[in-house]
Amino acid sequence: MVADYKRRYEEVMAVIEDRASVSGRDISEISLMVVTKNHSLDEITEMSRQTGLTLLGENRVQEAEPKILSWKDSITPEWHLVGHLQRNKARKALEIFSMIQSLDSKRLADTLQRICHEKEISTEVLIEINTSGEESKHGVAPEETAVLVKHVLSECPDLELKGMMTVGPLKADEKGVRKSFASLRELRDRISSEQKISLPVLSMGMTGDFGWAIEEGSTLVRIGTGLLGERQY
């Protein structure tokens, strides 16, 4: 039986519209990404056909590569990396993703810059921030973010810094989750005004918390389970 992705899409869109309207925001500011990890190419293709969604995210280079290279549908999706990137996978990542949402160190920035320069390409990046302080989380600490932003701006001309990304706390109530998202927005506001740059993208919110993320200013929600169903491991 083919899953009813359209119905799930409509449910997700209803939440996006509701939360946007509650917080006085225009839904045109909010992008909906489908996180496709642990789902097959057939499922992803069917979901995209039913919903028209073409902004897709993967966590790991090895898992993403065969999906991206064997994509057959006529509409070409835009793929972002949303998981931690090891430097020895940076070259491959630059071949298959249009945005790296998980830039989390100076060394990774330097590696990406060196490869971009060599290949005469550029890439869009978001800096991933660990806003919850959870040890298991990737991302730079909030207080280290300004240094990394300055480094990217001054030393990495082929990295187009578009904004920031975070994964909300897994074990927190509404208040705790919203505090984490609000802190990303405040950090973005402060750094963009200090550096006099625009950082329009705030990538935050997943299936369990995207409504709150929108109320806290998210411009890109990353939904896996809510659109594709439970992941099979």
Ligand X SMILES: *Cc1c(COP(=O)(O)O)cnc(C)c1O
What does the block give as tokens for 125?
């990046």
Taking the CA of residue 232 as centre, how many other CA atoms within 13 Å lie in the half-sphere pointing to its CB? 3
- CA dist 77 to 112, 119, 142, Å? 22, 23, 32
The reply to whether 184 sits near ligand X by the rule CB under 6 A is no
Tell me how far, at minimum, the Cβ of 228 lies from ligand X, in Å: 8
The reply to whether 195 sits near ligand X by the rule CB under 6 A is no
The reply to whether 83 sits near ligand X by the rule CB under 6 A is yes
Q: What gap in Å lies between CA 127 and CA 56, rounded to an integer?
A: 18
The reply to whether 211 sits near ligand X by the rule CB under 6 A is no
Query: 53, 206, 214, 220: which one contacts ligand X (CB under 6 A)?
Result: 206
The reply to whether 167 sits near ligand X by the rule CB under 6 A is yes
Q: What gap in Å lies between CA 180 and CA 168, rounded to an integer?
A: 6
Alpha helices, DSSP H only, in the chain? Answer: 5-22, 41-51, 61-69, 90-96, 106-119, 145-155, 174-195, 210-215, 225-228
- Shortest-Cβ-distance residue relative to ligand X: 224
Stretch that binds ligand X, among 87-95, 117-125, 193-201, 222-230 (CB under 6 A): 222-230
Task: Give the nearer residue to ligand X in terms of CB position, either 57 or 142.
Answer: 57
* 8 A C-beta contact, residue 109 and residue 159: yes
* 8 A C-beta contact, residue 164 and residue 218: no
Tell me how far, at minimum, the Cβ of 37 lies from ligand X, in Å: 6
The reply to whether 187 sits near ligand X by the rule CB under 6 A is no
* 8 A C-beta contact, residue 126 and residue 203: yes
Stretch that binds ligand X, among 11-19, 145-153, 191-199, 216-224 (CB under 6 A): 216-224
The reply to whether 225 sits near ligand X by the rule CB under 6 A is yes
Task: Give the nearer residue to ligand X in terms of CB position, either 94 or 165.
Answer: 165
Q: Compose the 49-78 pattern: x for residues touching ligand X by CB under 6 A, - for all others.
A: ----------x-------------------
DSSP codes joined into one string, 153-190? HHH-TTEEEEEEE----SS--HHHHHHHHHHHHHHHHH
Task: Give the nearer residue to ligand X in terms of CB position, either 185 or 222.
Answer: 222
- Which positions lie near ligand X, rule CB under 6 A? 35, 37, 59, 82-83, 167, 206-208, 222-226
